[in-house]
Amino acid sequence: MSADTAPALTASGVTVRFGGLTALDAIDVEVAPGTTVGLVGPNGAGKTTLFNVLSGLLRPNEGAVHLAGRDVTRLSPTVRARRGLARTYQRSELFTELTVRENLVLAYRARRRTHHLALDLLGLGRRRDEQEDATVDGLLARLGLDEVAAKLADSLPLGTGRLVEVGRALAAEPDVVLLDEPSAGLDEHETELLAEVLRRARVGSTVAFLLVEHDVDLVLGLSDHVYVLDFGRCIAAGAPEVVRADPAVRAAYLGTEVET
């Protein structure tokens, strides 16, 4: 398979065992360029475990991870990031002593590796670059963060911090973004902003998203394709409307709300 036609990201036969527990059982996931893929499932289904395998934090017992057709199973999270994989972190991973805008600028420069991080930390704001400004300011505007751009990252409410995380991931101009429950802690307005940002990020771009979310309606509304995990197994996969109607999915979600 050539790099042009390869999926942006794949997991093939990924199995993870924690002692006697099989947290993931031969899971196959494929994320095509320019698409949004949802990953849902009840508590303990294995979503975060798969996410950790894809981002390189956890080595699977079996199976492989490919990024743009290249095997990255044994590569570190840092190397995967340089190869175009971005992810959102908990808010505490933001540079709290820097402003919102500076956090995005660092992410933009880190991927391009045009600067040394330490020099950036010392010299932020000294140097101006039109393309950098356009990318960063465009993202700030789209995320509704213009008004807090000059504020320190640790002075923000939780919901705003989550949006900054998404902005920081996108500022790296990644090929694939892993979003770990990005709507957690967001209010309704912020959730709508986030959904709009994710929709618009794809226009004229080949960036792909893998979305781990508890907000099922948000995932089904945004995704081209959805995988449903339950007890480490993939119990359904397909277009959102197909997955929503699937009896096995409804059974797994019994007691939680999947609206019809």
Ligand X SMILES: Nc1ncnc2c1ncn2[C@@H]1O[C@H](COP(=O)(O)OP(=O)(O)OP(=O)(O)O)[C@@H](O)[C@H]1O
Cβ neighbours around 38 below 10 Å, total: 25
Q: Least distance (Å) from Mg ion to the CB of residue 48?
A: 3
Q: Least distance (Å) from Mg ion to the CB of residue 224?
A: 22
Amino acid code (one letter) for 1 = M
Q: Least distance (Å) from Mg ion to the CB of residue 115?
A: 34
CA 60/CA 23 separation, integer angstroms: 10
Q: Residue 70 burial by CB count (10 A; 0-12/13-18/19+): exposed, middle or buried?
A: exposed
Q: Least distance (Å) from ligand X to the CB of residue 16?
A: 8
Q: Least distance (Å) from Mg ion to the CB of residue 47?
A: 5
CA 60/CA 49 separation, integer angstroms: 9
* Residue indicated by tokens 């277009």: 239
Sole window of 36-44, 61-69, 156-164, 240-248 interacting with ligand X (rule: CB under 6 A): 36-44
- Contact between 156 and 133 under an 8 Å Cβ cutoff? The reply is no
Residue of the chain from 15, 48, 61, 96 that contacts ligand X (CB under 6 A): 48
Which residues share a beta bridge with 228? Answer: 40, 236
Which CB sits closer to Mg ion, 40 or 201? 40
Encoded one letter per residue, x for contact with Mg ion by CB under 5 A and - for no contact, window 10-49 reads -------------------------------------xx-
**Residues 31, 33, 35, 36: is their CA dihedral positive or negative?**
positive
Residue 119, CB-side half-sphere exposure with 13 Å CA sphere:
8
**Residues 125, 130, 134, 135: is their CA dihedral positive or negative?**
negative
Sole window of 38-46, 89-97, 148-156, 185-193 interacting with ligand X (rule: CB under 6 A): 38-46
Cβ neighbours around 116 below 10 Å, total: 11
Which CB sits closer to ligand X, 23 or 145? 23
Chain residues 11-30 in contact with ligand X, contact rule CB under 6 A:
18, 21, 23
Q: How many residues bind Mg ion (CB under 5 A)?
A: 2
Residue of the chain from 43, 78, 92, 260 that contacts ligand X (CB under 6 A): 43
Residue numbers of the site for ligand X (CB under 6 A)? 18, 21, 23, 41, 43-49
**What residues line the site for Mg ion (CB under 5 A)?**
47-48
